[in-house]
C-alpha cells in the first residue's frame, strides 16, 4: 500500500465508523420527533458548512450554480433524496429498527449495480447478476417471513443509491454540494421550525441543555464524516473503499442486536444470510477484477 493510500484508508475507516455509530447519537434525542431532528440536522449543518466555506473563501461555485439552472435542479433532486434518507434513518433508529436500517446499507452496493444497469446502461458481470439475484431472494424471504415488505431497508437503499447516482455526475465537490443541498432544504426547515415555535410544540430550546447541545451537534455529526470520506475516497481505490464501506452497516447491525436488543429471529437470519452471501460474491468479484486490471496495467507501466 502506498504512503498516499495509508491515510486514505484511515480517513475512510473513520468516516464509516462514525456513520456506523450514528444510532448511539440519535438515541440521545429520542424525545424529539424525527422530523424535528431532521430540521435541526439541516440548519446546524448549514451553519457549519457556511462557516467552513467562509473560512476557506470557497465561493466560486456559486456563480456556476447561478449560471446553470440544470445544476440547481439536479441538486434540488439530490436534496430531496437526502432528506428522505435522513428522515427514514432517524425515524428507524428512534423507533427501534436499527437492524432494519443496517440492512438498507448492506444492500446499497447491490442497488448501485442495479441503478448502473437501468440508468447508466452499464453491463453487470455474471457474478454481479448472481449477487443481485441472491439479494432479491433475501428481500423476498424477509417479506414473506414478516408479512410485509422491508420498506425501511428498501427506502434507505433506494434513496441513498439514487442520491449517490446524482452526486456521481454532479459538478460540485462534497463540501460545496452538501452546502447547496442544505441551502435548498433550509426554507422548508425554517418554516417547519417557525410553525412548531408558534404552536408551542417545538423541542428547541429544550428544558434541559443537554438536548439542545445534542441537536446543535448534528451539524458536525453530519459534516465531519463527509469530509473524512471525501479525503479518503481521493486517496484509495474504489475496491478498497468498497470493502471499508461495510464497517458502517456491520456496526449498526451489532448495535441494534446487542446494545438495543432488537428482536432477531432465526428466520430473519436466513434472509440476512442470503444478502451477506450476495455481498461476499459482489466483493470477491470486484477484488478479482481489480487485481486483473492492475496486473494487466503493470507491464505497460514498466515499459
**Tens digits of per-residue pLDDT, 40-72?**
999 999 999 999 999 988 888 888 888 888 888
- Residue 177 lies inside a defined structural domain of this protein: yes
Q: Is residue 294 part of a domain?
A: no
Q: Report yes or no on 16 lying in a domain.
A: yes
- Burial environment of residue 270 by CB neighbours within 10 A (0 to 12, 13 to 18, 19 or more): middle
CA diameter of the chain: 73
pLDDT-derived band at 5 (thresholds 50, 70, 90) equals low
DSSP state of 27: G
Residue 43 neighbours by CB under 8 Å, 6+ apart: 186, 189, 190, 193
Which of 75-79, 121-125, 262-266 is predicted least confidently? Answer: 121-125
**161 has pLDDT over 80:** yes
Is 283 contained in some domain?
yes
Is there a domain that residue 300 lies in?
A: no
Q: What is the DSSP string of 70-110?
A: HHHHHHHHHHHHHHHHHHHHHHHHHTT-HHHHHHHHHHHHH
CA distance 146 to 128: 27
Structural domain harbouring 55? 5-288
Domain count, the chain: 1
Report pLDDT for 4: 52
pLDDT-above-90 percentage for the chain: 43
Residue 232 is assigned to a structural domain of this protein: yes
The grid coordinates listed for 154 are 428498501
How confident is the model over 250-266, as a mean pLDDT?
A: 92
Question: Does residue 302 lie in a domain region?
Answer: no
* 303 occurs within a structural domain: no
Predicted model pTM:
0.88
Amino acid at each position: 500500500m502506498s504512503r498516499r493510500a495509508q491515510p486514505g484508508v484511515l480517513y475512510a475507516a473513520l468516516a464509516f465508523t462514525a456513520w456506523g455509530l450514528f444510532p448511539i447519537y440519535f438515541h440521545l434525542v429520542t424525545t424529539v420527533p424525527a422530523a424535528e431532528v431532521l430540521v435541526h440536522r439541516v440548519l446546524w449543518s448549514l451553519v457549519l458548512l457556511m462557516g467552513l466555506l467562509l473560512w476557506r473563501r470557497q465561493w466560486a461555485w456559486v456563480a456556476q450554480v447561478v449560471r446553470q439552472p440544470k445544476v440547481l435542479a439536479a441538486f434540488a433532486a439530490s436534496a430531496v433524496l437526502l432528506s428522505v434518507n435522513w428522515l427514514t434513518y432517524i425515524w428507524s433508529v428512534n423507533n427501534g429498527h436499527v437492524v432494519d436500517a443496517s440492512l438498507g446499507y448492506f444492500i446499497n452496493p447491490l442497488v448501485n449495480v442495479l441503478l448502473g444497469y437501468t440508468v447508466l446502461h452499464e453491463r453487470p458481470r455474471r457474478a454481479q447478476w448472481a449477487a443481485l439475484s441472491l439479494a432479491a431472494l433475501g428481500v423476498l424471504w424477509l417479506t414473506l417471513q414478516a408479512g410485509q415488505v422491508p420498506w425501511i431497508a428498501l427506502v434507505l437503499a433506494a434513496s441513498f443509491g439514487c442520491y449517490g447516482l446524482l452526486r456521481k455526475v454532479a459538478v460540485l465537490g462534497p463540501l460545496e454540494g452538501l452546502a447547496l443541498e442544505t441551502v435548498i432544504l433550509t426554507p422548508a426547515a425554517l418554516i417547519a421550525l417557525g410553525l412548531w415555535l408558534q404552536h408551542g410544540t417545538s423541542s428547541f430550546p429544550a428544558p434541559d441543555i443537554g438536548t439542545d447541545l445534542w441537536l446543535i451537534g448534528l451539524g458536525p455529526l453530519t459534516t465531519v464524516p463527509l469530509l473524512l470520506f471525501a479525503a479518503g475516497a481521493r486517496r484509495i481505490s474504489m475496491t478498497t473503499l468498497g470493502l471499508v464501506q461495510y464497517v458502517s452497516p456491520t456496526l449498526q447491525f451489532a448495535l441494534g442486536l446487542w446494545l438495543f436488543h432488537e428482536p432477531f429471529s432465526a428466520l430473519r437470519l436466513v434472509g440476512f444470510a442470503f444478502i451477506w452471501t450476495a455481498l461476499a460474491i459482489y466483493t470477491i468479484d470486484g477484488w478479482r477484477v481489480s487485481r486483473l486490471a492492475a496486473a494487466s496495467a503493470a507491464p505497460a507501466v514498466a515499459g
